[in-house]
Chains A and B, each alone.
Chain A
Amino acid sequence: MKIRADILRIYQNVHTWTGVTTGLLLFIGFFAGAITMFAGSIDKWSTPPSHHLPQVDADQYDALIYRVLEQHPEALNGINISFAADHSPVTWYEQGGARGLSLDKTLWHGTLNEAGELEAHTSYINELSSLVDYLHRSAGIAGEIGHDQAGVYVLGVAAILYFIALVSGVIFLLPSLVKSFFALRDKKGASRFWLDTHNLIGITSLPFHIIIAITVIVFAFHDILYDGLGKLYGDKPLFPSQAPSAIEYKVENLPKLEVILQKAKDYAPDYQVKGITLSRLNSARPSASIQLLSDKHLMRGPEADYLFMNPYTFEVSASSVADDAQGVWGAVVTTLFGLHFGSYGGEFGRWAYFIMGILGAVLFYTGNLLWLEKRRKQKQLEQSKSTRVMGKLTIGVAMGSLLGVAAAFAVTKWTALTTININVVYMWVYYLCFGFTLIAAFVIGMSKTAIWSQRAVAILCFSLPLTSVIAFAIPSLGIWPATAWSSIGLELTAMILGVIFWRMADKTKHRAYYGETNSIWFIGQHQTECELQTQSV
């Protein structure tokens, strides 16, 4: 395909600048996002089994809820009922809600003992998956604006540039696309290999990236967009206002749980009920938020579809389950949510999204490397300042965030031996690792930092299965080994990632000491011209 040279040059510039300014933010967003695909497995892996209390029989839930509400009135504001086998049957927050990252949320777990009495204990919620989710949504940029993290808006702006980078990248790739689409030339020098990798990933996962860019922008700026739309609507309301109910509902009149469940089943016959959260039970606005699971449907939430109903009247106030009222509008909106979260296709879908997320991170990392390779001076040792700073930033930020997350995973089970609040530990560990790596990149240089940090990530990854081995060998330590399939899968994945990072460190080392002498990575012995002459003589 032929495109005018002046257009190509302009879009090459657009691509370079939108890419290089957002690459590192998106790198963190993507690899952390890939990990959040397994948030459920991570929670299971990182929570000591003793935190959860045994499940109760199906006919005991009503009695259990009654006991909890009687003895712990704060649960009237929100009580979660779970039907999962390895989860406490009921949980409620003493303070704070389920959403967002908060370090000292106290969660109560409750169950019934054999005598039918309430047995309850509190525990800190392990926020490991929330920490990863926080990185995913904010790239670790702290601070809050309005009701959202400042980082969310930063990533929203980054996503705008990222969309432009996608379009411009495709435009200036088009002329050579047919010729070299599947070419992965590893014999023509490093930069050609990085370029081919970058192009191949970019083109094959283009639809995924377009969806991610658009959804991230909407997630960040929906309030502003609704405000603007409201102006265009004039007198018409954006959303139908629900007349406030005059009736004050009382928990004494709460229908039996099985009745509520039956109503949910009637509404969404193909779905399984994962859990129910009952909120504001003694009020005019009571709500039952029912989490529905299905592998056959595109689910709107990250892990489930939702159905909100009044638990007393069973009146449905909102739902993300496909029905006639949605029409094409609801179908499109729900699909966009589902396509961002990858909440379809069950386990296979999760893996596919995990891989695409990782490939996305690789796309941005290789993009930065390409920029560095292109700008570096071919025939001289001293490289320009912008190249050196960008090289250090790339390694510092990318490896720092990876190291921080790997370290948070690695300390999880060992910290549980102490009484320290694990979530505070996570924050310190993450930001210390991140800051340390970033500073190291500027002090000792990008190559050395890349080598040691890749080795460190590998070792931390290896430590996860090793911890399980130690736990099995010395049960008296009190560490819980991975026994569930999902936890074993997590540790095996960590091991594979460890091997990959170790090999990357080997390659980086080789390149740094024995590779091209005028590359930005090179830190080996320079042979001066004088020495070369003496040798040839």
Chain B
Amino acid sequence: MSRLSHADKIQPDWWGKTLAGVILGLALSFGIVGLFAWVGSDGLMDTLTPARQSWRTQFSMWIISPIWLLILSFVFMFKNSKQAVLWLGGANLVVYVILFVVRGMV
């Protein structure tokens, strides 16, 4: 393995990456779960028994934090904070646009 040049190396960028992971990561996990709540199985457009609907909502709430935590843990793999913001921001944009369209169709 050849030595990495300085430009190839991952920059720590602690504050930038951490903030991107905390804010954009959390928004993204909410977006993913929201999408899953609307179009996933037993979604919000289906008619469910009260018990099942209640469990479905609890499940959705539960999976927000694991998704966020994974994003937050791996955000330091981005080469620098700019990359982190661009990728996570872009993903947010895509997810929320789809969510908006899906909700508009109901």
Interface residues of A (CB under 8 A from B): 2, 4-7, 10-11, 13-14, 160, 163-164, 167-168, 213-214, 217-218, 221-222, 225-226, 228-229, 232-234, 236, 238-240, 242, 318, 325-330, 332-333, 336
Query: Is the pair B69, A236 in contact by a Cβ cutoff of 8 Å?
Result: no
Contact bitstring B39-65, A, C-beta under 8 A = 1, else 0: 000101000011111111111111011
List residues of chain A with CB within 8 A of the CB of B65. 214, 217-218, 221, 225
> Which residues from B are CB-within-8-Å of A218?
61-62, 65
Q: Find residues 70-93 in chain B having any chain A CB closer than 8 Å to their own CB.
A: 70, 72-74, 76-77
Alpha-carbon distance between A229 and B51 when the two chains are bound, in angstroms: 18
Q: How far is the CA of A221 from the CA of B65 in the complex (A)?
A: 9
CB pair A4–B4 under 8 Å, yes or no, is yes
Given contact pairs A6-B4, A7-B77, A229-B61, A325 touches B34 in the complex (Cβ within 8 A): no
Instruction: Give Cα distance in the complex from A32 to B34, angstroms.
Output: 36
Q: Please determine whether A167 and B73 come into contact, CB atoms closer than 8 angstroms.
A: yes
State the interface size on chain B (CB cutoff 8 A). Answer: 39
Q: List 21 A-B contacts (CB under 8 A).
A: A2-B1, A7-B10, A7-B77, A14-B76, A167-B69, A167-B73, A213-B69, A214-B69, A217-B69, A226-B61, A229-B60, A232-B33, A232-B37, A232-B38, A232-B99, A233-B37, A236-B44, A239-B57, A325-B52, A327-B52, A330-B59
Would you call B54 and A240 a contact (CB within 8 A)? yes
Query: B77–A329 contact, CB under 8 A?
Result: no
Is B10 within 8 A of A329, CB to CB?
no
Interface of B is mostly: helix
Taking a contact as CB atoms closer than 8 A, the residue among B38, B53, B59, B64 that contacts A240 in the complex is B53
- Cross-chain contact B59 with A242 (CB below 8 angstroms): no
* Contacting residues, chain A, for B30 (C-beta < 8 A): 228-229, 232
B53: A residues at CB distance < 8 A: 239-240
Q: Which residue of B lies closest to A223 (CB)?
A: B61
What chain B residues lie within 8 Å of A332 (beta carbons)? 59, 62
Question: For the complex, what is the distance from the CA of A213 to the CA of B38, rounded to whole Å?
Answer: 27
